[in-house]
Structure 1
């Protein structure tokens, strides 16, 4: 029942109670039902239907959205850390390969070279050894070889002061820094260490033991590459970080090898906020009254750890400020609306109460006693003056009209609620996009823009059919995201007939084919993968063609069989595309597979050439 009919029922009940009270015969059960006044009902409806949903949506926007943004920021930063660490590993690998080549050329593959390095005792031989090591010193690094003086050779002058080139050691490795002495037992493996010259200058050294070619269990010397930081600095400073943030590189001894940025960190802080963890990850922690993002990557190849420490406020500060501002504005707006609603309740309820009093004393054939209070000169005054002349037919018409309006409002409310989630999602992605551009991170901004396009076209406001141009935009946005996910792995070539962009197509039918081409075809091809996407007209049909040169052989007949198996766990994506096309256009259309003349896997979608309805 509508509110009007409920009020009418209450009025008749009250009227019956009034008659019985007049006759001094109270009715049993009267007053047992809890009845709210109209103004209380309106206030309660306002709180339940407007204030409560507004608070719930505001909470989701203010808190859940922030958590989501933090997770996205953490994941993106982690990918940056991993990529940066790969670059550093490549630099260290280059140094490692050179040291292996040097030892192989001068010790293991050259018996004369081994005799030369273990028998140096003249000034000419020392200069020759220094010249050889100088020729290997490139990019600002300095190569040095420390040999055990096994045969107790006497050199023409003291070599203990040298920091590069050739130098003899006593059998107890005297004259080596502690870091070098500990590395003498690494059985030929390379390691990064912090060393200090006699002048107190600190440097990063890559060192490996020189094993005896005749007995691999004996270390006869140490090959050291000093000033490795010259090469690592370019990899560290290539990433721009916010103020107060820092990038830190540690070795397997938890020594801080290098750092970039103005931030600082301690081992106690790492143990507290990260602790034992996997080979990579990110976390958020409070430190010094501020929340920080810690993203790290461990390399098993050279036992190094790259750690980013970034103040979260420098990344999401503007977004959090905006969320807080929206909460404050919402609270002020709700207070204003509540005040206005209470005013309207007072303005409307007072004349309604008069109408209720008339309904209580109304009885067909009985003369009404009018009050001397003048009628209001508004709609309620007119309604009050003419209410006694209304009939049941008018009551029924008003009630029927109100019910129709109520259903319409409920339908509008449902439509509005169905749009709330995409609306806030698009606004949030748009905010992240502009924030990324303002921060100079255009790559993240482009990824967020592509994700927003992917969602908008994928949802399409509930539409099942879109234009070929929109479908291709959706596929291109997905492809750009995958190219950033698998950088330097594959290339995508687009061959599109622009005249076909206005024709009709079911949505999201190209993206599953591109996804299959990436995952099952070119993902592991290290830059040699290629995908071609074409949109062509063939007579009266529109064809989308996706080809890839994947290294795994594909049987088109097997794929065709998979598309026909309803309950097969394989091929759900392509089977869904094929069935949706045939559902719309019949069995003459759909998805087929074949091998191209080049040996590529080719997926072909065939659709009728139709314009969307106006």
Structure 2
């Protein structure tokens, strides 16, 4: 029970320590005094880690490159030695089938046709194998399929009922005396109770007088012979060698330790498909294979007359470890330099942070949202200049902002008032001209109707002093305006309205549509000389309302439209230009109006009003 209480106290203490550390980090994470050393620490940590990774990779690549070069050089020498050994066996085979007694024995029809001659051949072959220990056994097949064998130890068993059943027989005959090599005779030979491999050297025996086929010669070469061919090249090497035949079967996999030998054979067998794909890509190269938790570097050389593969196998943990000491030394130097920079960062940060803290304490005395001058102790030249500049900036900004706000209010108010005062007399003068014409003509009914419409128009345009009304109210003013103009210009134009009900409640600056309708009447329809149509439409879009004023009048040239849009023709199209200016000032957007026109076909002006 006491042990349990002690364990619980230890856990509680550990939790408190962890919480204290988290609280300390969270509290200081926003402070510059913490950020500067922490930034130094991160930079140093990343630099050291990156440098170590780069140096380690360079070291590893360099070691791998050296190992690969040494491996390829070694297996090239091994291939040369093996080719030389095979060529020696080829010369021995020529000595065998050139033997006069063997030629006579096979000419007589079979290896058992003359036992005395056979005995001489047997003695000759036995003496040859005693002189050449790489030969395991010699097999001679006559044309009738009988076999005569001589060996220094237990003879391998020929597994086929007839030599013609062997998989390589047809190739040997078609080669006409050229030899082939087969691992264990491609399964035609077997030695019971033995794990050693042997390579069968097979060729056709021909009559030395007329080159007619007399039989087949099979010389079985011990696998130890291949190891002896290159054993002197591996005295100081850190890798092992394996030789594969044309079918990627292991001829020999030699290691100084049987355990490693079994491991290397397992690597070659389990990764056989990967190796075959690599062999097909190139005749030489290197690749990495895994066996359990261990990685191995494989270098290979293939090709040659028999397409054998010479493979070197090197464990990764033996790759030139001498370069690791250089990497560790460089890492140690980086850590030392990083530590010096890290502790220097504290000294540098204190000289910067302390004056800043003084400045912050003074600034925090000012109310939030107000520009206040700061007063601090001026003991550093740079910070003295900073404080003076800051105080001067605060003073100038306060004065400048106050002045700009007042000026902008006055400018915008003057622009709106000026434009509206220009638009209202412009319409009133034209209307009074119409009333005068009706009065002079004695058309009292129309005169009363026009005065009533004019009264309604101005009553709505006043709008209780409001500058912004709804689209519905603006459309109603346009209806009154067109009623006035219809009385004055009978049979000159026809007005059409196509307004969505959804658009009527949205706000719009007043007296925006009327000047454009007036522009369509005076500059579009009247110059045409025939009756025209003015169409007012309003559509509710996703985020905006589009109001279009169209006429089928005389239209305008593109150059004239560009002059209006670029504000170069204020007098000629005052109503259109003034409306554009009002919308630009009100919405702060120069693209509130789009003009489309074609000379002789009319004009369409579209107003784009943002909803809300």
Instruction: State the TM-score, normalized to the length of structure 2.
Output: 0.42
Q: Which has the larger radius of gyration?
A: 2
